[in-house]
Structure 1
Amino acid sequence: MKPTFPLLRLPENVIVKVLNNMRLKQLLELSYVSTKTQNLVKSLGIIAKRVAISINGSDKIALNTYHTDFGFQPSTLVPFSDNLKYIRTIFCFTSPPNVCFYANCERHEVGLLKETIGNVNLLYVSSILTDELSREVLKHFNTPSRLYLLRNPYEDSCKIQEIFIRNHKIIEFDDDYSLDDMLLINSEKVRFKLPASKKQMNQFVKHWIRGSNPQLQTMSLSVKNIDFVNGETYLKGIRCMDMSEEAKREIRQEHGLPNCDMVQIRREDGTPAVIASNQRGRHPNTHLIVLHCIPL
């Protein structure tokens, strides 16, 4: 017989010290033992900053918070729902969870999942999902704060534009997009995975200067076929202002953009922004960053 450790016989202040040195998964397992252990774990006041739910083609739905993982049979969502509520209680988690849909997740009924999970913070829709299933996911989980859509599941361009016009905090889109799509974006942070043409980017910046995309804080994308060596850019006809090296350095540090050069532009209403570009490679990464103050 393995030796046991008489944890609950220790003074409570000593128990708390022991618990503070346990991993999150161990704490959760301990909390299931009894009401006393549950209350002890709750008393630690540990806050789970993220709860993620992964839905794929396996026999189980994965639920994790940091390094704590569970699996629940899809035949019944009652244990899943109960455990999600339990984690919220034990680890003081009040925010909506992150939900990721992966390959072969059609075995799970999307409407029932939405009823069980409720609203989500982050929604990730894999490119491997069928168009029909992707549309079903987007229909039911239609209010995420952060949306990662890896493929356009709609034949009608108006349908994907209905997604773009929603007020997301962050949206990443990994399929083809038009200038009209860019102008309809109503999110604060935008990431387009595929490159835009020089003309497309030039027209977008000019529209932004005239007042489009008022919610936008940052947009990241690449621009095709820029020849920096010969001085070719996508900023023709756009008034750009030089910036001090100190101002550039602060923006690089704040936004995690090493090795980027940048210029300042300004909207007609006076709102300043910078366009930062990493000039390495055929399709350099480009970032439009709206500033809350005018850099020196």
Structure 2
Amino acid sequence: MAATPTFPLLGLPADEIRRTIRVMNFEQILRFSFLSKRCKNLVAGIQIKRMYFSVFISRSIAVIIHFFGSRYIRLEFYTEPDMYWGEGAYGRKKKLTAPQSVIVSHNGPIGFDIESSTWERNELTMQYWLKHLQDIFNYRGIQSIKFSTDSSQFDRDDIKQVFDSTTEIDIGNTGCVEFNQMVLRNYFPIDDLTIWTDNFRDSKIPPSLLMQNRVKLEVIDRDLDVPITLNDLLLINSKVIIVGNLLSPQQLPKDFITLWQKGSNPNLEYFCVEFSDDEETDEQFFMNGIKYEENPLDRVRNFKSVGFENPIEISGGLDIYRLDGVKATIKIYFEDPLPFFRMFVWFDHCVVEP
């Protein structure tokens, strides 16, 4: 007589097992996947639709798997403050040894009913956890890593070894300029980079960093004494340029438009400036002295840069042209509390046909 499976669900036909897995919540699916190799393969076989993996490194490390419909599962490691310290290449740092516990959080179908639990006495390494998650959710790599408060406490070599498969980096307020520089050197190439001006000594971004060819560069200008300058913008070779919290004079975008028309920033597809004050402006403020064509508001066009997953709908706007005939559209938006300026460059691959 055949042995009865110790876990009753496994005695069902494979199709029934898969149907049952699909109605489990994310924590139940995760627990089931750890029961055996067969269970892991069953979970992987249902091909759960996912969006991407992201990693958030602060005083702890969180791995977040984002799914369609704003659903997610979040696993937080290294929450015990007095553990994991050891001697690394850069002195005494937190090492990515097996985390003693894991906090698992997830939301439900509605999105607001968040459930959380702590898995104690974990013996699995960080590398094992990451690979297991990538296996069961059929996703190789990590879409983005964000470094935030006190992330410099972790051994940077360990971080690079475990989380090495990403091209999207966000360096926030880590508290250590040297650590920021090491991240920029260790992760290469970085196609999508978000940096804060105070990531650098005297809040000055090195020109060599601005000049690198990227898909997207976002700069958050937090230092009011050393604002982003026109020369900084002209050095950027990225296709997508976003500048946030800009205190520089609102004349800056107009000067940028004039020089773009003469041939600066030839790779640019999308330029956005978010201002840090609410000075009243309109499109005409930026276009004084610049030849343009005004579009009616009911003229709607769809734009898609390589830096975006989905198209952007543009109603109206002011069209301008570069010397070589390339067209761009200028828009000012007031939906948010503070205004922001947008410029869309209509390369052939940026035009989305209706």
Identify whether the pair has TM-score above 0.5, normalized to the shorter chain.
yes
Alignment of 1:190-229 (within 5 A): 190-195=241-246, 196-222=248-274, 227-228=280-281
Deviations along 1:250-270, whole A, 9 cap, x unmatched?
56x94256xx76201111111
Q: Percent identity?
A: 22
Alignment of 1:59-208 (within 5 A): 61-66=61-66, 67-73=72-78, 74=84, 75-77=95-97, 79-155=125-201, 160-175=206-221, 176-195=227-246, 196-208=248-260
Please tell me whether residue 263 in structure 1 is matched to residue 286 in structure 2.
no
- How far apart are residue 116 of structure 1 and its match? 2.1
Change (3 A) 1:124 1:279: closer
CA distance in 2, matches of 1:41, 1:254: 33
CA distance in 1, matches of 2:136, 2:14: 18
CA distance in 1, matches of 2:249, 2:340: 13
Unaligned segments of structure 2, at least 5 residues: 1-5, 67-71, 79-83, 85-94, 99-124, 222-226, 304-309
CA distance in 1, matches of 2:316, 2:338: 15
Change (3 A) 1:69 1:283: closer
More divergent stretch after superposition (156-165 vs 186-195): 156-165
**Number of the residue aligned with 2:120:** none
**Number of the residue aligned with 1:28:** 30
Deviations along 1:171-190, whole A, 9 cap, x unmatched?
21112311111111122222
- Tell me the secondary structure at the aligned position of residue 70 of structure 1: strand
Deviations along 1:54-105, whole A, 9 cap, x unmatched?
21124xx222213323344453346111221222222111243421111112
Aligned equivalent of 1:17, options 16, 19, 27:
19
CA distance in 1, matches of 2:241, 2:346: 15
- How far apart are residue 129 of structure 1 and its match? 2.4
**Number of the residue aligned with 1:38:** 40
- How far apart are residue 37 of structure 1 and its match? 0.7
Change (3 A) 1:261 1:286: farther
- Tell me the secondary structure at the aligned position of residue 237 of structure 1: coil
Change (3 A) 1:199 1:271: same
- Tell me the secondary structure at the aligned position of residue 234 of structure 1: helix
CA distance in 1, matches of 2:337, 2:17: 59
Count of residues paired in the alignment: 287
TM-score for the superposition, normalised by structure 1: 0.84
Deviations along 1:21-71, whole A, 9 cap, x unmatched?
12333222211101111111111122543112121124xx22221332334
Report the residue type matching 1:31 in the other structure: S
Please tell me whether residue 274 in structure 1 is matched to residue 329 in structure 2.
yes
Deviations along 1:125-149, whole A, 9 cap, x unmatched?
1135232222222222242222121
CA distance in 2, matches of 1:145, 1:22: 36
CA distance in 2, matches of 1:23, 1:183: 49
More divergent stretch after superposition (80-89 vs 44-53): 44-53
- Contact residue 132 and residue 153 of structure 1 kept, 8 A: no
- Contact residue 54 and residue 100 of structure 1 kept, 8 A: yes
Q: Which structure dedicates a bigger proportion of its chain to helix?
A: 1
TM-score for the superposition, normalised by structure 2: 0.71
* RMSD over aligned Cα atoms: 3.1
**Number of the residue aligned with 1:242:** 294
More divergent stretch after superposition (76-85 vs 276-285): 276-285
- Contact residue 265 and residue 274 of structure 1 kept, 8 A: yes
Unaligned segments of structure 1, at least 5 residues: none
- Contact residue 56 and residue 102 of structure 1 kept, 8 A: yes
- Contact residue 47 and residue 93 of structure 1 kept, 8 A: no
- How far apart are residue 155 of structure 1 and its match? 3.5
